[in-house]
Chain A
Amino acid sequence: MKRRDFLQTGSGLVVSFSLLGTSSMTGAQGTAAAAKSMVKDEVDAWLGIGADGRVTVYSGKVDLGTGTRTALAQLVAEELDVDFGQIDMVMGDTLLTIDQGQTAGSLTISNGGITLRRAAACARQALLASAALRLSVAATELNTAHGEVSTRDGARKISYAALVEGKPLNIKLDPKVALKNPAAHTVVGQSIPRVDIPAKVTGQFPYIHDFKLPGMLHARVVRPPGLGATLVSVDESSVSAIAGGVRVVRKQDFLAVVCQSEWAAVKAARTLQAQWITAETMPEQARLYEYWRGFPSSRPATPWPRWARPPNG
């Protein structure tokens, strides 16, 4: 799969690059990434306008099925005045996107989204200023819509693509840039169908489990019988009958098998004979509350509220 195809399928898989890191597949992107800003107070870190007019948006957040790939694109389309369909999202690509922390806590839109809105608003202002120069008209006399700047009367217009000419915008991200009045929103607030769903219902959407690398092997961890168990010995001959090049990997008390095929790894992990000494690390069930109350965190300065008190506590 080519990188671009991968992006266009609407995937938000975070680890693609760390997995593909040294493979030849990253060659072209490596060059692109070197050219792309990774400085978070530069607009170019967050979006780029291509020579074809398409807008590439870079978000450090990922879409795990909550629709943020669609929603973030809406935010940018709104502030930049481009059509929703003109936006390509790059999400969670560690080589191309700013680290925006974890994707959790409903923060992708509220935190990740505001940055993109500001970046788009800054870009739009810069495009207005650039068009004002080109058209010899005051920026206040110009409108933006559908990826174009036009004079109020619509007589003269110039596309974003023509203004940018495929180059970086080279402008700072102003955190105080004026954003559109929500009353004027035409894209935000619309229920746009999620861009990832057609690929998901037809088996085309790549999940992390779908990655295949040249020469990839399959491993399974062999779990100990209890927490903190010590591995005493491993009988490697117990899996010698399993075809598929079983290799036993042992690092202190960690045990795993590596095989040519996934099924061989599953079978080997189930079959492998290992001797463990289990540690008595778990608290006695009958005295569980007492055990918990022994922790410092269970001795707050203020008394427990009634609803949080353990039974008979």
Chain B
Amino acid sequence: MEFKLNVNGKVSQTEADSDTPLLYVLRDNLGLQGPKYGCGLGQCGACTVLINGEAVRSCVTPVGSVKSSNVVTLEGLGTPEQPHPVQQAFIDEQAVQCGYCINGMVMTSVVLLRKTPRPSEAQIRQALANNLCRCGTHTRIVKAVQRAAEPRPTALSGG
């Protein structure tokens, strides 16, 4: 089947079976490598993308269900030159070891901070409880989210 997907602000046309997990379409057909294959069961969070602003596990989301939804991957947030504030906070806190889980950590944190701009540490831990990191970078990740939640000059001046 042919699909027109709205990914990172542009429409991409691609061919796939409708039961294909969105993750495979993003990675194999659209060449995006932010979302990662971890468990394939929606349990680890490495494949997380935003669909209409919500953090969704793309490894268990059939492409046929996505339709015209707005999909954003890690690449859609920012670049090494112009990172998203959450990405910048992860860089500032050096909150990465191997980095395989970091896609899910960043994407989930972006949604958390949109809904809860000033989360407590407990809320951050709760929000990321189902994102697994095997390197053990958790404490730095929590600090990165806290840093991203701090008021920034641009945020203040932008009102």
A264 to B28, CA, bound (A): 12
Identify which of A33-41, A176-184, A195-203, A300-308 touches chain B: A195-203
Looking at A200, A205, A263, the one whose CB has the most chain B CB atoms below 10 A away is A200
A278 to B99, CA, bound (A): 39
A295 to B27, CA, bound (A): 47
Please indicate the chain B residues that have their CB under 8 angstroms from the CB of A207 in the complex: 33, 36, 100
A65 to B24, CA, bound (A): 25
Q: A65-B98, A66-B97, A193-B91 are in contact. Are A203 and B103 (CB under 8 A)?
A: yes
Which residue of B has the minimal Cβ distance to A196? B99
Residue positions of A touching B, CB distance < 8 A: 64-66, 193-194, 196-207, 209-210, 212, 218, 243-244, 261-264, 266
Looking at B16, B36, B97, B99, the one whose CB has the most chain A CB atoms below 10 A away is B99
Please indicate the chain A residues that have their CB under 8 angstroms from the CB of B54 in the complex: none
List residues 9-56 of chain B with CB under 8 A from any CB of chain A: 16-17, 19-21, 24, 27-28, 31-37, 40
Which residue of A has the minimal Cβ distance to B92? A193
Closest CB of chain A to B66's CB: distance in Å? 14
A209 touching B90, Cβ below 8 Å: no
B112 CB-CB contact with A under 8 Å: no
A59 to B61, CA, bound (A): 41
B17 touching A243, Cβ below 8 Å: yes
B24 touching A201, Cβ below 8 Å: no
Looking at A197, A201, A263, A266, the one whose CB has the most chain B CB atoms below 10 A away is A201
Please indicate the chain A residues that have their CB under 8 angstroms from the CB of B123 in the complex: none
B113 CB-CB contact with A under 8 Å: no
Please indicate the chain B residues that have their CB under 8 angstroms from the CB of A200 in the complex: 96, 99, 102
Closest CB of chain B to A211's CB: distance in Å? 10
Closest CB of chain A to B154's CB: distance in Å? 19
A209 to B99, CA, bound (A): 13
B74 CB-CB contact with A under 8 Å: yes
Looking at A199, A212, A261, A266, the one whose CB has the most chain B CB atoms below 10 A away is A261
Please indicate the chain B residues that have their CB under 8 angstroms from the CB of A261 in the complex: 16, 20, 24, 28
A201: which of B32, B36, B91 is its contact (CB, 8 Å)?
B91
Closest CB of chain B to A218's CB: distance in Å? 8
B58 CB-CB contact with A under 8 Å: no
A194 touching B94, Cβ below 8 Å: yes
Please indicate the chain A residues that have their CB under 8 angstroms from the CB of B17 in the complex: 243-244, 263-264
Looking at A64, A197, A243, A244, the one whose CB has the most chain B CB atoms below 10 A away is A197
A264 to B21, CA, bound (A): 11
Please indicate the chain A residues that have their CB under 8 angstroms from the CB of B37 in the complex: 209
Please indicate the chain A residues that have their CB under 8 angstroms from the CB of B40 in the complex: 266
Closest CB of chain B to A67's CB: distance in Å? 8
List residues 74-105 of chain B with CB under 8 A from any CB of chain A: 74-75, 77-80, 83, 87, 90-91, 94, 96-100, 102-103
Closest CB of chain B to A59's CB: distance in Å? 18
A264 to B40, CA, bound (A): 14
B97: which of A65, A193, A199, A202 is its contact (CB, 8 Å)?
A65
Closest CB of chain A to B140's CB: distance in Å? 11
A268 to B94, CA, bound (A): 41
